[in-house]
Amino acid sequence: MDGVDHIERTERVERIERTESAERNERIGGIGDSERALGDFLRARRGRVAPEHVGLTGGRRRRVRGLRREELAQLAGISVDYYVRLEQGRATQPSPEVLDALAGALGLDAAERGHLATLAGARRGPAPRARVSPLMQRVLDAMTDLPAFATDHRLHVVAWNGLGSELIGGLADPARRDRNNARFLFLDPASRLVHPEWEDRAAEAVGQLRVAAGRYPDDVELAGLISELGAGSTEFRRIWDSGEVVMCAAGRKRLRHPVAGLLTLDFETLHVPAAPGETGLVVHVFSAEEGSGEAAALARLATAAAAVPGLP
């Protein structure tokens, strides 16, 4: 193959990839089809890798962002044909060795490696349901001085205690029809006032939904939620299309409460394993340093929340 043929072939590949990118932007990828989700994730991660960071030169003719397919295949030590079939959803259940090689070539972190493994091993099946046991509710209610609530894989708040309802705002109000954290973040402008670190909270929410979509590819309710968010929020589409998988299990968050004002609270997430046919729950617990202004504010909120029932 001479230089002209090589350039023409490269331009054809790049035109195809730009067309695929445009088509992908017409939908929210990775929903309802585990093979397509795997391909979309690989494609997004491939576009994030700068060629010069892996010893490749960009070249004057390069128009594709990130690595070309053949470049990633070479870095991972697999055939170009097999990698193309992975991206196109025509090859299923790649081996752990292949996944590890791809993860290394793409520079994936621990959360992204876990998500890649989930996508590659996704199984079809009925959508799981969330169930809050009486014991879990008693545990939440017993934490009278710590705000706490539990979410399912769709980010629905399914259980809380009195202080958690007071901190987040009206969870126990029977008139409240929607308790989905993602809808609040992306479809309610007030979320940017409540969450000064909105970008971080938004990235975490998208990461959780992305992992859930890979784990439960047949969950129609989850697919509908993600489509709704994509249609209603350009910010959601931007973060989703980036392919990022941001997970944060513990740390500090800043919240603005209408009465207590701006609070900086420590948080911890506790994962409750799923029973057969059910989804695992995530319990979010907040606390403040003893003697701090935040601790005093939580004490005042706890007093106000004393009469709030813990059950939905």
Domains (ranges, CATH) in the chain?
Answer: 3-120 (1.10.260.40), 134-305 (3.30.450.180)
Beta carbons of 168 and 147 less than 8 angstroms apart: yes
Q: Show pLDDT as tens, one digit a residue, over the chain (312 residues).
A: 454 444 444 444 444 444 444 444 444 544 445 567 888 889 888 888 888 787 776 555 666 778 889 989 988 888 988 899 888 888 777 887 888 889 888 988 777 887 888 788 765 566 678 889 999 999 999 999 999 999 999 999 999 999 999 998 877 676 677 899 999 999 999 999 999 999 999 999 999 999 888 888 778 889 899 999 999 999 999 999 887 787 778 899 999 998 889 999 999 999 988 777 788 899 999 999 999 999 999 999 888 877 555 444
Q: What pLDDT was estimated at residue 171?
A: 73
Which residues, in sequence order, are CB contacts of 22 under 8 Å at separation 6+? none
Beta carbons of 298 and 147 less than 8 angstroms apart: yes
pTM of structure: 0.67
Instruction: Name the token pair of 70.
Output: 């053949």
Alpha helices in 77-161 (DSSP H): 80-87, 96-106, 110-120, 134-142
Q: What pLDDT was estimated at residue 142?
A: 94
d(CA 187, CA 234): 10
Question: Could you give the angle at which helices 69-76 and 80-87 cross, rounded to 10 degrees?
Answer: 120
Burial of 201 per CB tally in 10 Å (0-12, 13-18, 19+): buried
Of 106, 44, 37, 260, nearest in space to 169 by CA = 260
Chain Cα centroid distance, residue 277: 22
d(CA 142, CA 310): 10
